[in-house]
Amino acid sequence: MALLAAVSFFGALLEAFFLVTVTGVAMALVGERPAVGPILGQTVALGHALLIAAIVLIVRLILNMAGVRTSADLAANVTTDQRFVLSHAYLETDWPTQQAEPAGRLQELLTTFVLRVNNTVVTLTQAVTALLSLLAFLGAGLLVDPGSTLGVLVALTLVGAILAPLRQRIRRHAAASAGAGVNFANAVSELGSFGLEMHTFGVERQISDRIDELTHQATGTQRRVLILTQSLPPVYISLAYAAVLGGVGVLTLVGVDSLTVIGTVMLLMLRSLSYGQQLATASGSLAANAPFIDQIRTTVERYESHAAGAGHRIPGAVTPLEALEVEFAYTPERVTLFTATFQIQPGEVVGVIGPSGAGKSTVAQLLLGLRQPTRGKVRVDGVDLRDVDKRWWSSRVAFVPQEARLLTGTVAENVRFFRNGIDDLMIVDALTQANILQDVEALPSSFNTHLGQLGAHLSGGQRQRLSIARALAGKPELLVLDEPTSALDGASESLIRDTLEALKGQVAVVIIAHRMSTLDMCDRIMVLEAGRITAFDSPANLHRDSAFYRNALAVAGISMTSKD
């Protein structure tokens, strides 16, 4: 920035010098004199003056080019930097903060909003250039004729002050425009994921109407900002010319003694006005961009204030995993999980059942350390999960969500999921364990087969088994599955059950189950009803003690086959 300032200041001084010299030459020709001057106390021959002017012109061009380069470098650096800061802050923020972010907002911030930052840097460098050039010109003007230069300075300040309310309005409308932009991005990204439903229910028209409406809102505010920013320069020019008119008026009243001086001053002042106009334009554009930059800044601050996992303790093992009087509430008004105390032992398979909305997924997220208990604590081998080193923890636990989510990439990439420590052998192992190796080997390039957008061409059961392979590839000590088979057919479910059965005794498993048939291999089953653990025991004991369990079995048409 300092380099840019220096370059533009000297560039403008050279330009002023050039204009003074050229006017001097013109005046000398008119007056039929053989020399120019005095310029800076020197009288120079006409030929020399022209040569000096030419050299000055070339040096100025070189300086300008250096300025353009510096400005572009600066803008590119700032853009890279903003994307880096924003995306890292997002990735390092905790799960509750990420989960609460509307779809499409981050994308909008990283693209449209960051472009605004880029634009602001360019504008800012232009403004600095214009300001310093203006100062250089006014400085040159002071040397030639102090009186009229001061007059111009007063006029410029006045015009700038008159335009202040206009800039305020631009800023207000730009803030609305930023909001509308985010809304639009949210809606597009959300509606975009509803292709299947849209066609099935035949609501293409309604959805396009909704998008049209949001488009109008977004473009409406944009239009207002555009009108205001575009009207700044003409308003400025009119006011500035009015000031020039006033100045000339004063001169006619006072009278002029030197034609060269008046000519030079007029030329310098007109050029000053054009730099002033650049400043006015820049100030409008800065006002229009400010709300976008504010949003990026406040978002980064919010992400950083919710940064995940700062603990550094390394427990002996992931189990025993205990919940000690854990209570959890998403909002202060409503408790989702009432005081719960329980333990999960090494290699134990724990089932979790309960009606929809009972808090099963919440318990899973608490056990994985994705959410912090509102009261009480989760302990890992005696260490508070909050204090556990996040890397250590992440490399030892795994999660299988209800709906498998696959990347656009190969089977191997999907199983590895960015974890560098997982080699091909471990991938084959995991595919075997997840009962999907045969299916993968049937693909054209085995596990190097590209799956296409979001793993299309695979059945739901195959996708879910790949998701389980992903979870097992890291050789976890704790595996949490949230209704992994609820959307699958009986055959797929049975394959997954085989997988889990084989893990028994080696990996601690918490499986939230929807289908009762998944549960017969569990060592213990937790029954969760309306945020309370109403039973937590072996299937045999539950059959005796839990009405919910007996009822659920009956509904599933399963008769209890006692294992002991």
Ligand X SMILES: Nc1ncnc2c1ncn2[C@@H]1O[C@H](COP(=O)(O)OP(=O)(O)O)[C@@H](O)[C@H]1O
> What minimum distance in Å lies between the beta carbon of 533 and ligand X?
12
Q: Which does 231 bind (CB under 5 to 8 A by kind): Mg ion, ligand X, none?
A: none
Q: Which is nearer to ligand X, 47 or 355 (CB)?
A: 355
336 binds ligand X (CB under 6 A): yes
Residues of 469-491 as b/e, b for ≥16 C-beta within 10 angstroms?
Answer: bbbbbbbbbbbbbbbbbebbeee
Query: Could you tell me which residues are beta bridge partners of residue 344?
Result: 321
Q: Measure the CA dihedral 330/336/339/342, to 10°.
A: -100
> What minimum distance in Å lies between the beta carbon of 401 and ligand X?
11
- Given a contact cutoff of 8 angstroms between Cβ atoms, the answer to whether 24 and 37 are in contact is yes
486 binds Mg ion (CB under 5 A): no
> What minimum distance in Å lies between the beta carbon of 436 and ligand X?
26
SS3 514: coil
- Give me the 428-457 binding string for ligand X, x by CB under 6 A, dash otherwise: ------------------------------
Q: Which is nearer to Mg ion, 436 or 528 (CB)?
A: 528
Identify which range of 13-21, 113-121, 175-183, 358-366 contacts Mg ion by CB under 5 A.
358-366
Q: Which does 305 bind (CB under 5 to 8 A by kind): ligand X, Mg ion, none?
A: none
Q: Which is nearer to ligand X, 219 or 361 (CB)?
A: 361
In this structure, what DSSP letter does residue 359 have? S
How big is the site for Mg ion, counted in residues (CB under 5 A)? Answer: 1
> What minimum distance in Å lies between the beta carbon of 336 and ligand X?
4
Q: Is residue 169 within a helix (H) or strand (E), and if so which, with residue range?
A: helix 164-192
> What minimum distance in Å lies between the beta carbon of 83 and ligand X?
28
> What minimum distance in Å lies between the beta carbon of 402 and Mg ion?
7
Q: Which does 357 bind (CB under 5 to 8 A by kind): ligand X, Mg ion, none?
A: ligand X
> What minimum distance in Å lies between the beta carbon of 526 and ligand X?
11
Identify which range of 52-60, 180-188, 353-361, 408-416 contacts ligand X by CB under 6 A.
353-361
> What minimum distance in Å lies between the beta carbon of 357 and ligand X?
4
357 binds ligand X (CB under 6 A): yes
> What minimum distance in Å lies between the beta carbon of 516 and ligand X?
16
> What minimum distance in Å lies between the beta carbon of 355 and ligand X?
7
Q: Which does 274 bind (CB under 5 to 8 A by kind): ligand X, Mg ion, none?
A: none
356 binds ligand X (CB under 6 A): yes
Q: Which is nearer to Mg ion, 252 or 356 (CB)?
A: 356
With vertex at residue 186, the alpha carbon angle to CA 180 and CA 192, rounded to the nearest 5 degrees, is 130
Q: Is the dihedral of CA 21, 23, 26, 31 positive or negative?
A: negative
> What minimum distance in Å lies between the beta carbon of 69 and Mg ion?
56
- Given a contact cutoff of 8 angstroms between Cβ atoms, the answer to whether 385 and 369 are in contact is yes
Cα separation, 511 vs 75, whole angstroms = 51
Burial of 102 (0-12, 13-18, 19+ CB in 10 A): middle
Q: Which is nearer to ligand X, 96 or 320 (CB)?
A: 96
**What are the φ/ψ torsions at residue 229 (nearest 5 degrees)?**
-65, -35
Q: What tokens were used for 105? A: 């907002």
Cα separation, 299 vs 90, whole angstroms = 9
For residue 549, what are the contacts with CB-CB under 8 A and spacing of at least 6?
Answer: 353, 525, 527, 535, 539, 542, 543
Q: Which is nearer to ligand X, 170 or 352 (CB)?
A: 352
494 binds ligand X (CB under 6 A): no
Among left, alpha and beta (phi > 0; psi -120 to 50; other), residue 347 is left
Q: Which is nearer to ligand X, 23 or 518 (CB)?
A: 518
Among 193, 200, 198, which residue's Cα sits nearest to residue 209? 198
> What minimum distance in Å lies between the beta carbon of 471 and Mg ion?
17
Q: Which does 358 bind (CB under 5 to 8 A by kind): ligand X, Mg ion, none?
A: ligand X
SS3 231: helix
Q: What tokens were used for 209? A: 């109407």
Cα separation, 219 vs 222, whole angstroms = 5
- Given a contact cutoff of 8 angstroms between Cβ atoms, the answer to whether 345 and 524 are in contact is no
Q: Which is nearer to ligand X, 252 or 356 (CB)?
A: 356
Q: Which of 189, 274, 361, 402 binds ligand X (CB under 6 A)?
A: 361
Q: Which of 141, 276, 284, 359 binds ligand X (CB under 6 A)?
A: 359
362 binds ligand X (CB under 6 A): yes
Q: Which is nearer to ligand X, 235 or 335 (CB)?
A: 335
Q: Which is nearer to Mg ion, 215 or 361 (CB)?
A: 361
* Concatenated DSSP letters of 391-449: HHHHTTEEEE-SS----SSBHHHHHHTT-TT--HHHHHHHHHHTT-HHHHHTSTTGGG-
How big is the site for ligand X, counted in residues (CB under 6 A)? Answer: 11
97 binds ligand X (CB under 6 A): no
- Give me the 291-330 binding string for ligand X, x by CB under 6 A, dash otherwise: ---------------------------------------x
DSSP-H helix ranges across 306-383: 360-367
SS3 490: helix
Letter for the amino acid at 7? V
Q: Is residue 463 within a helix (H) or strand (E), and if so which, with residue range?
A: helix 460-473
Strand duo 349-353 + 524-529: pairing: parallel
Q: Which of 358, 412, 495, 511 binds ligand X (CB under 6 A)?
A: 358
Provide the residue count of the chain: 564
> What minimum distance in Å lies between the beta carbon of 531 and Mg ion?
13
Q: Which is nearer to Mg ion, 155 or 512 (CB)?
A: 512
Q: Which of 361, 374, 395, 432 binds Mg ion (CB under 5 A)?
A: 361
**Neighbour order of strands in the sheet with 349-353:** 397-400, 478-482, 508-512, 349-353, 524-529, 532-537
Chain positions contacting ligand X, by CB under 6 A: 99, 330, 336, 354, 356-362
Chain positions contacting Mg ion, by CB under 5 A: 361
